[in-house]
A and B are shown apart, each in its own frame.
Chain A
């Protein structure tokens, strides 16, 4: 009887909480400036790319069109209404004139129709006559499809890395600041060693540890582990400083006087008080992970071909000849830039909202 009454009540509660949450979100949206809104939209889009890669990407990232290597981006045209049954949009086929020079000419006699929501893709064409929205690479693979699949690496590495380094940083920092004494001393000396490392140099040295034969998922986790190992120390130091100033506040003293165990004091009283700062710092440190992975992959020490990441897609541009003749291979860099900028705008905004004392 009792439980039967409680269930609808609870779900009503949940409904109210949901409505309240939605309202709060709406308020936050109205407060945010337009760059922040653009950033949120941009990130939502990128995470959608990552989650729904097979749907968004028009082709398989490994599909090679050998007759179209290093093909420039193809222009899209709107079909005249009489041809709408074939497809709303079309592009002209490309023909390679000279295989050495890789000069392409537009073949106006052959129209390639782009079909929307076809064969489980958002848009696609017949794989034998591909539409290279952003050009193709040296093996004739569609750059856009590879960027879409590459977003999986770049968009998740920040979240996983921040999760690891921040849970490590918060727990070690809070412990160190609360316990003090020899433990504190030891942890802080160790973090000083880590912080006086030239981090990128050390990242390079550590990347050599990754054995060459690993799968791309394993490499991914190695990279995350390495970058978290480097970045947790700085964060732990700041949390430690905040905790050691909070620990003598009256409300913590009161909890201690009431006989609360250390675990409870840390989890319920101390960590929540530094959480606002932590969320801001977490958002602002995501770009570091994205950039770190991109840099490693760019240098050939991270995610390896044939798997795609935004960094290793750029590696093609390291050859001056490629850069000169096929400038569209720089497009993945634009995606990195947009992702990094969005996290920066978002973090900056969160700092104004959650941690006003530190806002610039």
Chain B
């Protein structure tokens, strides 16, 4: 296990470097940069712009800039946001936390609902519940995140039961710690429903097909032949085995969750990493874009790593220490 972890962590290094290089390359292809909008502003003198360019290193050739950025990034210095004039780390930290909270609670929401529903539906295969819920799951999978977000916003506007977008209330800073948590939770309800529902639908379908596949396998027949009750057969024998691909999927679902979160953040005005990146892209704030993409990549890689570790914990047959992760 230890060797596997070290190997995986070492594997991440070239990946992260590749990703940063790719995004740096992309950002350098962008016609114009943050300075070009400043240059159009007659109240800013050319000297100031030169000074700014030198300060941010925009006047140097691309490879030099990249190596400089990489070297600084190794020291956890991701440069300064051109638009906000504060360090990128400072900006990203709080935003990434919001996105992680959103993604994690959506995942929790979808798992908590998907697993029991999937079990019930599979056990009562071809019943009316099975048909209706499976069909609804299919609809849920096809409902675009952003459209559902709009619908939820409309619901919030019409009923007034939920906050209309935003991560926290205006008076958040003056609240006591317990109310702060409640306030955040209250603002999370709709985004979590939006983000969690898509994952829930596909997880439910997966759970259902897994259980159906296992229900007719030899070890289940043996368990039944031993005279075990149906409950024990399902919960102790079938479920443990059915959970295996779930855990693998959790890691892969993370990329979708991050992407979906970005859209939902934009529609519902949540102060997360995705919205920050969107603003940065719009204003060509290169270091902020780099920082956000890097942060997203790191979140993704660690999510996958966690999923692999969880897989080892759930399934004793999986042994990573001998071979690779393939």
Chain A interface (Cβ within 8 Å of chain B)?
35, 189, 192-193, 196-209, 211, 287, 291, 294-295, 298-301, 314, 317-318, 320, 323-324, 327, 330, 333-334, 336-337, 340-341, 344-345, 348, 360
Contact = CB atoms under 8 A, between A and B. Distances in A.
Interface string B275-309: 00110011010000100110011011100100000
Contacts of A360: 205-206, 208-209
Contacts of B284: 208
B293 A341 contact: no
B107 to A, nearest CB: 15
Interface stretch (B68-76, B136-144, B168-176, B234-242): B136-144
A314 B150 contact: yes
B22 A197 contact: yes
Contacts of B293: 197-198, 201-202, 205
A337 B165 contact: no
Interface residues of B, number: 55
A330 B150 contact: yes
B157 A323 contact: yes
B281 A200 contact: no
Given A197-B297, A198-B259, A327-B154, A209 B146 contact: no
Given A196-B297, A196-B300, A202 B23 contact: yes
Nearest to A336: B144
Contacts of A192: 15
24 contacts: A189-B14, A196-B300, A197-B293, A197-B297, A198-B255, A198-B258, A198-B300, A199-B259, A201-B262, A201-B277, A201-B292, A204-B262, A205-B289, A207-B281, A209-B26, A294-B144, A295-B263, A298-B266, A320-B164, A323-B153, A323-B154, A330-B154, A340-B142, A344-B141
B259 A298 contact: no
Contacts of B157: 320, 323-324
Given A197-B22, A291-B144, A205 B27 contact: yes
Contacts of A189: 14
Given A204-B262, A337-B143, A198 B297 contact: yes
A336 B31 CA distance: 31
Nearest to A321: B157
Contacts of B262: 200-201, 204
Nearest to B165: A320
Contacts of A298: 146, 263, 266-267
Contacts of A345: 138
Contacts of A299: 263, 266, 278
A333 B144 contact: yes
Nearest to B208: A360
B244 to A, nearest CB: 16
Given A198-B293, A327-B154, A360-B209, 19 more contacts: A35-B135, A192-B15, A196-B297, A198-B296, A200-B258, A201-B274, A202-B23, A202-B26, A204-B277, A208-B26, A208-B284, A208-B289, A211-B31, A320-B165, A323-B154, A323-B157, A324-B154, A324-B158, A334-B147
B29 interface: yes
Most buried by B among A209, A301, A344: A209
A336 B151 CA distance: 14
Most buried by B among A320, A344, A345: A320
**10 closest Cβ pairs, A-B complex:** A200-B259, A341-B142, A198-B296, A333-B147, A193-B18, A360-B209, A201-B296, A208-B281, A324-B157, A340-B142
B19 A209 contact: no
A294 B143 CA distance: 13
Contacts of A198: 255, 258-259, 293, 296-297, 299-300
A318 B269 CA distance: 9
A204 B14 CA distance: 23
B22 A208 contact: no
B6 interface: no
A301 B280 CA distance: 13
B64 interface: no
Most buried by B among A35, A192, A200, A330: A200
Nearest to A211: B31
Nearest to B17: A193
Nearest to A201: B296
A317 B142 contact: no
Contacts of A203: 259
A196 B19 contact: yes
Interface in B185-232: 205-206, 208-209
Contact of A318 (B22, B260, B267): B267
Interface in B121-150: 135, 138-139, 141-144, 146-147, 150
A340 B148 CA distance: 14
A289 to B, nearest CB: 13
A287 B26 CA distance: 25
A320 B297 CA distance: 32
Nearest to A329: B150
Contacts of A317: 150
Given A299-B266, A333-B144, A337-B143, A196 B281 contact: no
B40 interface: no
A323 B154 CA distance: 7
Contacts of B297: 196-198
Contact of A196 (B153, B165, B301): B301
B30 interface: yes
Given A291-B144, A336-B147, A341-B142, A196 B259 contact: no
Nearest to B258: A198
B174 to A, nearest CB: 25
B296 to A, nearest CB: 4
